[in-house]
Structure 1
């Protein structure tokens, strides 16, 4: 058997062919092809795993953000003071946990919650809703400013940046005024701010699902702004599709979730704003849950409370969700209240104080 030589002229005998050399060339060629294919596959996988290079409309530039001292701590993160592009901001940091300390399912759940919060919040624009500035997911460019300079943040931390409200949480403000109580005009104004914010959310088909005074902030003019959209979601057309038991005990309505549960929670907040006190202070969480559902327990309305305001509370926390007003109707009711003659809660230590509270608090 003869093979044509490489120059094309003449032939060589088969026993003169260097089979070992040919085999090595073939191996090198196959190895190169296999490596190229492997690299191509890896690049494709990495590209899929990488966040899209196109910046989301809500995404901040991490290099413009300076994170400062802690304002508050929660289960999955902290809220800090900060500066973004020269503006005072609050920065909510969500920590996925160090690698290996949290299961894949937990991290996926946290990422979904983060994405949900951003998806809801970044489209909102209302004077009684905390202004959303931006967010970033898993960036290594975040810095925390300390007395000793700046330290970097782990790349698994995500953050939401919102306007800074120097008045702090509404709950803290009410606690500070627990003995003095608030003027009736201030009570109605705070309630109107909250009602208008909720009315706006509901008009956008958004149910907050955790309406409580801790989640309401005060700006420098003492305007109430709704914050914390961690469990908010777009309202389902079928109420049965909404998950129940989301929110904070004491504020939660006793039925599956739709916007009327926000109305119930508003009723509890209204009582709290008027009384500068906490509902059910002597009951455990389990006792509150049971009594609200089975015994129709509600906070006791003080006798000094004007009937116009007491009526709003009662209608909002009615056991039948269908009898509760929509939030825009609540706004109208509050706007109609005459605050010129007073009617605020009378401090207990004043001689003319009403006997507003007894040891038992029932409906």
Structure 2
């Protein structure tokens, strides 16, 4: 007897044992494959559309021109770099002309390609950016005027006797006002034998103190205050330069640690790796003040390790000459106090220096000056 193939309602039906499962599976696979292909084509079309839009934007940007310069960025076509006047670890300082003005150009050359790792170059570029970020906002008569900078360009030209030579594209530069008097340190070395008149000492010290007072008012800690980083203009005015390690002062002193600066000028807390603040600059100023007065180097007979140990553990400081007036000696002692909290703020230092009487002399006595006169105080130096 045959099974019915029609339902009572006239609809067809198939017995379970007559269903071709293999055929159904193939049909389902074809359906899924077709659906997946359609979705893939849809995504590809969207991606191609996005890429076309991006290319259109890039083309429009090329037509409009290059990205707008940063506010501190120079126009390389206006800069002529001349001969080198100083050399350092990561570059050189050159004379130059920018837009018709005499300038100093600090070129940072981080080595030929392949000579430094990507991490080293990234670190150096970050330091360069930090220096520019700090320097370009400063405006004070005792701070070297920042003119501009550029972050790597092949458009720089060095002028030589044989014409102009292009610079590698990885060279960055900072352009600042040119100070013809050179570094304060060089000026002091030139006067090492004859020393400086007392009024000149106080004036140089006041220039430096006022510059640091301004930096601290802007929440800037220089962190490498030394006579080598101070320049003299044509009127012998001191101008603070080199903000390579300067930082905005951290609100929490614990955020500023680590040895930064130059041995001989570094405060004990910095040498020790302890937290520090702007008072580290005050300590360094005290050493600079002694150096300006004496026209000499602190700790000439000690090695770096001996200086570090003695400054921190034995409270070593430069010896103040007997001929130094107490008004100036007191400023030195207060500035280089081992306790940062006992050091004065720079505005107080300015006030103390302004109160120093220079009318009666008091400058450092030359080495060949007869010393017997000190007992009677008949001569107090120039």
Change (3 A) 1:148 1:331: same
Change (3 A) 1:243 1:349: same
Given that residues 268 and 312 in structure 2 are in contact (C-alpha distance below 8 angstroms), is that contact kept between their aligned partners in structure 1?
yes
5+ unaligned residues in a row in structure 1: which ranges? none
Q: State the Cα distance separating 1:98 from its structure 2 match.
A: 1.4
Q: State the Cα distance separating 1:327 from its structure 2 match.
A: 0.3
C-alpha distance after superposition, 1:158-178 (max 9, x if no partner): 000000000000000000000
Q: CA RMSD in A?
A: 8.0
Q: State the Cα distance separating 1:351 from its structure 2 match.
A: 2.1
Computing the radius of gyration from Cα coordinates, the structure with the larger value is 2
Change (3 A) 1:346 1:55: same
Q: State the Cα distance separating 1:258 from its structure 2 match.
A: 1.1
Change (3 A) 1:91 1:234: same
How many residue pairs get aligned? The number is 361
C-alpha distance after superposition, 1:253-285 (max 9, x if no partner): 011331000000000000000000000000000
CA distance in 1, matches of 2:84, 2:170: 19
Given that residues 300 and 362 in structure 1 are in contact (C-alpha distance below 8 angstroms), is that contact kept between their aligned partners in structure 2?
no
Q: Spell out structure 1 runs of 4+ moving beyond 3 A.
A: 1-50, 352-363
Secondary structure of 2:73's counterpart equals coil
CA distance in 1, matches of 2:229, 2:76: 26
Change (3 A) 1:230 1:36: farther
Change (3 A) 1:303 1:44: farther
CA distance in 1, matches of 2:238, 2:6: 87
Given that residues 67 and 83 in structure 1 are in contact (C-alpha distance below 8 angstroms), is that contact kept between their aligned partners in structure 2?
yes
Q: State the Cα distance separating 1:130 from its structure 2 match.
A: 0.1
Change (3 A) 1:103 1:181: same
CA distance in 1, matches of 2:106, 2:31: 54
Q: State the Cα distance separating 1:338 from its structure 2 match.
A: 0.5
Change (3 A) 1:188 1:104: same
Partner of 1:297: 316
Given that residues 71 and 79 in structure 1 are in contact (C-alpha distance below 8 angstroms), is that contact kept between their aligned partners in structure 2?
yes
Q: State the Cα distance separating 1:26 from its structure 2 match.
A: 25
Given that residues 196 and 327 in structure 1 are in contact (C-alpha distance below 8 angstroms), is that contact kept between their aligned partners in structure 2?
yes
* 105-114 or 25-34, larger mean C-alpha shift: 25-34
Given that residues 365 and 381 in structure 2 are in contact (C-alpha distance below 8 angstroms), is that contact kept between their aligned partners in structure 1?
no
Change (3 A) 1:303 1:66: same
Change (3 A) 1:193 1:34: farther
Given that residues 363 and 380 in structure 2 are in contact (C-alpha distance below 8 angstroms), is that contact kept between their aligned partners in structure 1?
no
Change (3 A) 1:57 1:178: same
CA distance in 1, matches of 2:354, 2:86: 33
C-alpha distance after superposition, 1:50-95 (max 9, x if no partner): 9xx1210000000000000001111111000000000000000011
CA distance in 1, matches of 2:38, 2:357: 79
CA distance in 2, matches of 1:245, 1:69: 33
Change (3 A) 1:18 1:157: farther
Q: State the Cα distance separating 1:243 from its structure 2 match.
A: 2.4
Q: Is 2:289 the counterpart of 1:270?
A: yes
Q: Is 2:238 the counterpart of 1:238?
A: no
CA distance in 1, matches of 2:277, 2:20: 81
Change (3 A) 1:216 1:37: farther
C-alpha distance after superposition, 1:158-214 (max 9, x if no partner): 000000000000000000000000000000000000000000000000000000000
C-alpha distance after superposition, 1:16-70 (max 9, x if no partner): 99999999999999999999999999969999999xx121000000000000000
Q: State the Cα distance separating 1:359 from its structure 2 match.
A: 26
Given that residues 3 and 12 in structure 1 are in contact (C-alpha distance below 8 angstroms), is that contact kept between their aligned partners in structure 2?
no
5+ unaligned residues in a row in structure 2: which ranges? 45-54, 270-274
From 23, 45, 59, give the equivalent of 2:57: 45
